[in-house]
Amino acid sequence: MRAGFAWTLAGNGIYAASQWGLLSILAKLGGRDVLGEYALAVALTAPVAMLAHLNLRAVLATDVTGQRRFRDYISLRLVVSGVALAAMAGMAAVFGRSAGMAAVIFLTGLGQTSETISDAYYGAMQRRDEMDRIARSMMARGILSAASFAAALWFTGELVWAVAAAAAGRLMVLAVYDRRIGSLDEASGWAETSWSGARSILRQALPLGGVLMLVSLNTNLPRYVIEGQMGVGELGAFAAVASFVTAGSTIVNALGQAATPKLARLASLHEPASFLRLASKLGALVFGLGLAGVACAALLGKVVLTLAYRPEYAAYSGLLVGVMGAAIPGYVAAALGYAVTAARAFDAQVPMFCIVAACCGYASWLLVPRLGLAGAVIAMAVAAAAQIGGQALILRRALRQMEAAA
């Protein structure tokens, strides 16, 4: 597990740094408004991409007994991704205020869709405990997409070409590496697909897709309100500051992904005590990580914002401290989410996240007009606290089921 964590942290870390680099480049070369346009495109397309994502990686990686064939997972992924891309094209036509903005929305969605396909191949690698291969792919995808984005923005000065270049880089890694490595020792032919098996996977995974969509909405609902109430420039500033949460999320995700196979095996063997012990360690680790993030933001916030973006962003150092504080319950909720998924408690997550999204949306609608960007931070914390409460109840039920089956 330690080796898997090290590779996952390296892959996630370099990928997250690359994606944060996109925001830094936009802030330096394009300014707050261009950064806000990109953040709006991501906020619009991410919920659709997450619904289509179905968290197939987790479903495949935790299918330790091989109930469904790999080819069925991949065929389902391709069909659902095509539907999602068509939906994003419709969104681009509706929400694009200009032809250029519509193209940015669609191309942003294309890049996200390619990542969901890569993630399905990661599921096969993760089930085989090949975390090093996943890490190499993520490193290549992050560096290539960021470098392509920066080069296109530098030479053309147009956001649309930069987003197109980043999407092309992601697609290249998918075609050259992920498909080849992920399919090793796996049968993946389209003609041999069992569509009844694929439909069975869809029924099982659809609740997880709903969960991911709701999680994405929890992230983006405050941003919708900020853009509507305060404008795209303030949305760009908020996105820039909130991007530092990704640094901690990278470690949280690395820990969660490395622990998932172990947690899944403990759940399948009906060992509730060991399962709870590992899940508790995971939660404690990410809580400490969150506290460290707040301390760093308080001590270095102004300097980091100035260096990462522009000097005027130093005025948002107080917001950075608040964002990192709200990230603490967010990190704990994310860690518990891996435990819930490893226990294969899929269906129960949908109503929970509906409640969480409702809390986040209401808090954003109530607080952002009154408190500005600070209101969005409070809404994030409210949503995370509601999520932790719901996940505790789900895990309690799952542990009782393990005890009964032991």
**How far is residue 277's CA from residue 281's CA, in Å, rounded to a whole number?**
6
pLDDT of 189 higher than 60:
no
pLDDT at 204: 82
Instruction: Indicate the average pLDDT of the chain.
Output: 88
Nearest to 91 by CA among 77, 112, 62: 112
CA distance 47 to 190: 28
Condensed to tens digits (0 to 9), the pLDDT of residues 282-299 reads 999 999 999 999 999 999
Domain edges within the chain: 2-405
The pLDDT of residue 190 is: 47
Q: List the single range of 30-34, 107-111, 380-384 with lowest mean pLDDT.
A: 30-34
Confidence bin at 1 (pLDDT 50/70/90): low
Q: What is the mean pLDDT of residues 242-270?
A: 85
Q: What is the pTM of this model?
A: 0.79
Q: How do residues 87-139 score in pLDDT, each as one tens digit?
A: 999 999 988 878 889 999 999 999 999 999 999 899 888 888 888 899 999 99
How far is it, in rounded angstroms, from Cα 42 to Cα 211? 18
Point out the least confidently predicted range of 58-62, 72-76, 397-401.
58-62
pLDDT per residue as tens digits for the range 341-351? 888 777 788 89
Report DSSP letters for 140-165, one per residue: HHHHHHHHHHHHHHHHH--HHHHHHH
Q: Which position has the higher pLDDT, 156 or 261?
A: 156
- Worst-scoring range by mean pLDDT, 51-60, 170-179, 188-197, 393-402? 188-197
Q: What is the pLDDT, as a whole number, of residue 84? A: 94
Amino acid found at 270: H
